[in-house]
Amino acid sequence: MSVGSPLRVVVVSNGNAFSTTMIRPLVEDPEIDVAGALIASVPSGRGGPFATLWRLTRRTGVRFAIYKGLSLAVPAIAGRRFRTPVFLRDLCRAQSVPARSVRSVNGEEAATFLRHAAPDVIVSVSTPERILPEVLALARVAPVNVHWALLPAYGGIAPYVWVLRNGERETGVTVHVMNERLDTGPILRQRPVEITRDDTALSLQLHLASVAAEEILAAIRTLPGSLATARGQPPGGRSYYTWPRRSDVRALRRRGRKLARWRDLRSMWREARALRD
């Protein structure tokens, strides 16, 4: 990176609608050079995607599986209906950003793409696997991740579900430098988000995605200078979660919470439609 030149950024993501909401401001900012996007498919596991879906349903229950399915299907249908770029591949095509779909961000195909793109910053947004240190090292300035919680609390998967299940009144977004351990690196930016009485898991996802979009852009704009003021995560208060079980979904509902309401799905539909403007 030469003095005065824009940062070269490569985005690594699962490429779904929530991730694309968070990435969109980066791609559209004329002062940031998004040199490429790696779209990593979610590992299907033993037996393929249907077997994986069945295992997730057995663990989390039918309600959770339907909620996840609808949150993925509604933007897909709306994107086709309105011909809007709700997914990362479509956004990259619209903005002439090179994109590559890979089975693993840690494979040779991904490494070749990254070396060719020569990024100053690798930005990870909902990447479906841990990125190995040798891949992170390909970022000349820093590898950066965004997480939907106030780290060090609620590291891991689906924090927007766990904060409701545990009765929290506040959550937030953390943008941090990545290291060899998940969700543990120095914090560049952190922003609290109030959990309202009406929040569902899906409404909270939508709110956090919107906040995260602003925080990622702000964090990248201040690099590399902000690395000097990044703060280490405190040793206390760390927690880590994986996919909820049926009993956790029941506990969430006993607190008067829901995974989603129809109005949340309508919000996703309207967001996709608004991209036409």
Q: Is 218 part of a structural domain of the chain? A: yes
Average pLDDT, consecutive stretches of 10 residues, N- to C-terminus, the chain (277 residues): 78 96 96 96 59 81 92 95 96 96 95 97 95 97 98 97 98 97 95 98 98 97 95 93 96 97 97 90
Q: Tell me, what CATH number does 88's domain have? A: 3.40.50.170
User: Within a domain: residue 28?
Assistant: yes
CA dist 210 and 103 (Å) reads 28
From the centroid of its chain, how far is CA 236? 25
CA neighbor of 79 nearest in space, from 10, 37, 20: 20
At residue 21, the pLDDT reads 97
- Asked if the structure places residue 159 within a domain, the reply is yes
What's residue 44's pLDDT?
53
Domain count, the chain: 1
Task: Give the pLDDT confidence score for residue 160 in this predicted structure.
Answer: 98
Q: Hey, is 69 helix, strand or coil? A: helix
What amino acid occupies position 266? R
Give just the sign of the alpha carbon dihedral 156, 160, 166, 168. positive
Distant-in-sequence, close-in-space partners of 259: CB < 8 Å, separation ≥ 6: 63, 64, 67, 161, 200, 201, 202, 249, 252
Is 2 inside any structural domain? no
Q: How many residues does the chain have?
A: 277
DSSP β-ladder status, 142-147 and 170-177 = antiparallel
Instruction: Give pLDDT, residue 67.
Output: 94
User: What is the layout of strands, in order, in the sheet containing 8-13?
Assistant: 99-102, 33-40, 8-13, 121-125, 142-147, 170-177, 187-194
Strand partners, 155: 240
In a domain, 79, yes or no: yes
Domain assignment of residue 226, yes or no: yes
Residue 3 lies in a domain: no
Domain-located, residue 40: yes
DSSP-H helix ranges across 29-168? 48-60, 62-82, 88-95, 108-117, 133-136, 159-165
- Smallest CA-to-CA distance from 96 within 10, 27, 29 is with 27
pLDDT at residue 6, as a whole number: 87
pTM as predicted = 0.93
Residue 137, domain extent: 8-274
Interacting residues of 126 by C-beta distance below 8 A, sequence separation 6+: 13, 14, 16, 18, 19, 22
